Structure 1
């Protein structure tokens, strides 16, 4: 009954004083019985019409008229909600650049090239997902740390993702580690770390809290991802393949998308360790100066690569 063709309905009028046999014909005077869907004639509906009140018939007719309009409006509204559900701005920081190769002296693979390539791939993946992306550098140029931080802090509704690769004098060292500093950055660090570790053929070195400059000075959630050791022959070989760098970008992007639902992992707090390393480095430097000897090792060689640049 509710599916009566609207084109056939020319006049609608209601009266409480009609018989059951006349009910539908009085309601729809211009609707011929054979025009009703499924070839249901009004006379055949007469036995059932006694069970229906006029209020119910009005409700069915109103529903038939308004339902198509409601359906048409609901789809665009859902689309707009999906588009605006995540207005996040992702600031991507490719580590090092220009005269700063990254890594340690004598390192064969330049960290600055690997970080830029992964950062550009990450930008493409996130942009395809509808995120607005800002790069601190998009070419082989040197960008001072304060400038990188200033770029990140200029976007209040954003997150800061720093891309790095690790290095050490010990060729056997390897694995993935992710750093954060502020507590509100831990969920983001946990999400990205778990996705990257899942997709990388490297060991899990854990989520770590440490006061690197780019993490300590930013006012938005910020993380620094170490995507493996370029001084490890196996991990360096992976890093030099485009497919692996694309995989890293996809996993980091998955972590960005899943940051709100990720559980915060336990982490290794290295904030105090970092301070002691800086102090011990200063003391050893003073001793070397008094003895007028240069150290046989680079300062802080036992720590991660680029720790001076990242913690300045």
Structure 2
């Protein structure tokens, strides 16, 4: 993959910096939506169940490394279908949106895991064994989180029906906005901005290291920041949006690196498909940030 192509796509990845919660004016307040009716709940379960049931049939840990690349395409197709068609078509009610958001994050994690498994094998054979070890460690962390999520939240949800998510969250107070965890969230956003700026000068040989940086940022967000955020509306909404943007950007970098390895050592046709998906996802990341935050450049 020529560096010029990589640069053109990466320059489209929007860079954003410190965003106080008060600046979040365009995101959908999930917790302010009406409670789903019985009919809306049925519509939600009918739409999401096929996606949910497909996940156990796509276990990457049962496959040899060379079998993982086609599985990446399957996971990518499933996640893309969910985000582009199924999620936007769900009822605009509280439980439907909450369930959809959480299932979407699970799909992201599954896609990240299977792609990183393949990359770990490629790095071990053709690249940097130390980076391969980092990728393998990340796979273990993400797979455990995805399994807990699948067996817990999603499993209970589909076994017992879509549960109510409680009363609407309260408006964030000044004290909550000024809390240490919100400061940490803003620091993570700034780190994301710094990585994006540095990536504009990236060389292909540095791509794996940059990917490891985005992976650490995403993992820290879901493991450390997200569980400790204040239970107020703007924090919940903004953090979910930011977490999804971190994950989608990570997938873009995974796909660029995987397409390079596929072109050089694997299946060039798969490499071309993955590169095209990376370009599409990079454009979607930019569109998402423009939609939610209404800007296309730093502060």
TM norm structure 2: 0.27
- Bigger relative contact order, structure 1 or 2 (CA pairs below 8 A, ≥6 apart): 2
Larger radius of gyration: 1
User: Could you say which structure has the higher helix fraction?
Assistant: 2
* Structure richer in strand, relative to its length: 1
**TM-score (norm: length of structure 1):** 0.26
